[in-house]
């Protein structure tokens, strides 16, 4: 189901809770909402559709990836950039890292660990920030 995108900075600034397999329907709604906004959006976190759970989805060069409970376990190559957000107006400066290693659970709740670089790493950092209540 396509959900309305939340724009309330007070809600978006709250930390999300750990997700479980009972939250799979939320991931589906998040995916549907991302696809419906694909012209303006490459990634989303569950709080962007009003659910404070640690779930993110993003477009990895045409393959949509869903992560439950993602956390960055290492990072390197700090740089500054400007980002926009579907939940916020305009662009803002922020610090990112060129490479991140992420521990997360997949759709089967199997624990995974993977490194990402470049644009995909930037998207993941933005969405994990959402899970942590950090707005750009």
Catalytic residue set? 127
CA-wise closest residue to 116 among 70, 52, 54, 69: 70
How many DSSP H helices and E strands does the chain contain? 3, 5
User: Strands 63-85, 55-60: parallel, antiparallel or unpaired by DSSP?
Assistant: antiparallel
């Amino acid at each position: 189901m396509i959900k309305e995108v939340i724009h309330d900075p007070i809600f978006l600034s709250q930390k999300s809770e750990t997700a479980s397999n009972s939250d799979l329907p939320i991931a589906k709604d998040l995916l549907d909402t991302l696809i419906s906004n694909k012209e303006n959006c490459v990634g989303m976190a569950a709080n962007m559709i009003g659910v404070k759970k640690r779930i993110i989805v993003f477009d990895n060069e045409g393959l949509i990836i869903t992560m439950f409970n993602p956390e960055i376990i290492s990072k390197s190559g700090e740089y500054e950039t400007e980002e926009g957000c579907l939940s916020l107006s305009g662009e803002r400066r922020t610090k990112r890292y060129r490479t991140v290693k992420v521990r997360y659970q997949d759709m089967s709740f199997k624990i995974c660990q993977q490194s990402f670089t470049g644009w995909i790493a930037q998207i993941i950092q933005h969405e994990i920030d959402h899970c942590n209540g950090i707005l750009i």
